[in-house]
Chains A and B, each alone.
Chain A
Amino acid sequence: AQKVTQAQTEISVVEKEDVTLDCVYETRDTTYYLFWYKQPPSGELVFLIRRNSFDEQNEISGRYSWNFQKSTSSFNFTITASQVVDSAVYFCALSGFMDSNYQLIWGAGTKLIIKP
């Protein structure tokens, strides 16, 4: 089965705290991509990162970092020193074939609330 699970429905932290958003996936594909998108209240899905299944290197981009562990099928996202502007819904997604279609398979999203 192709599936993405974001077990955290909502997380609330105080500004400047670090926060990790969890993403666990299931796939039978040997080659796939994993994505994280941010969706602020305006609705647009903002691309954050794409990771190839063969590239298990962790990545850091400013305050954002991603930990990809193929052994546990996880692709977790950490925000360091969170800011109010980080408040949004964050989606993890997997590219793959499902129902005979190549598509993005989405997690349910994690709503992140950063309090001042």
Chain B
Amino acid sequence: ETGVTQSPTHLIKTRGQQVTLRCSSQSGHNTVSWYQQALGQGPQFIFQYYREEENGRGNFPPRFSGLQFPNYSSELNVNALELDDSALYLCASSPYRQGLIRFGQGTRLTVV
């Protein structure tokens, strides 16, 4: 079975720009969650998608938005990038909301 894959692995953007991060969920998984991990900290929950609908959201502003597609892959979009958005963004998939959660390798975003 294929695992969770994320693209790109690294990205450098300028403050004010917009970015789209992508995630392919593990085969058979219909739930995707996104987490932000700042350097030296634990991951923070951004939001979760279940069957193409947002199913929960953490304490992140509206400029963080997402999508889930019919094949359960997902995108994370961040508008008006700020320096503090620099972090590792992790995508996780699971077969159902409380299922076994697998993570991708992450996208390291640097905002300059």
A8 within 8 Å of B (CB atoms)? no
Knowing A103-B45, A103-B58, A106-B42 are in contact, say whether A44-B105 is a contact too (CB < 8 A). Answer: yes
B101 and A47 form a contact (CB under 8 A):
yes
Residue from A37, A100, A101, A107 within 8 A of B103 (CB atoms): A37
**Residues of B within 8 Å of A, CB-based: how many?**
26
Assess whether A42 is in contact with B105, with CB atoms less than 8 Å apart: yes
Interface membership of A99, Cβ < 8 A: yes
- A-contact bits for B18-47, CB 8 A (1 contact / 0 none): 000000000000000101000001111100
Pair B56/A103 contact, Cβ less than 8 Å? yes
Give the bracket for the number of chain A residues in contact with chain B.
20 to 34
Give A91's nearest chain B residue, CB to CB: B42
User: In the complex the two chains form, is B42's CB within 8 Å of A102's CB?
Assistant: no
Q: B59 near A: Cβ within 8 Å?
A: yes
Is A35 a contact of B108 with CB atoms below 8 Å?
no
Are A106 and B43 in contact (CB-based, < 8 A)? Answer: yes
Distance A104 CA – B58 CA, assembled complex (angstroms): 11
A103's closest neighbor in chain B, by CB? B45
Which A residues contact B (CB, under 8 angstroms)? 33, 35, 37, 42-47, 50, 91, 95, 99-104, 106-109
* Chain B residues packing against A (C-beta within 8 Å): 33, 35, 41-45, 48, 55-59, 88, 90, 92, 97-98, 100-106, 108
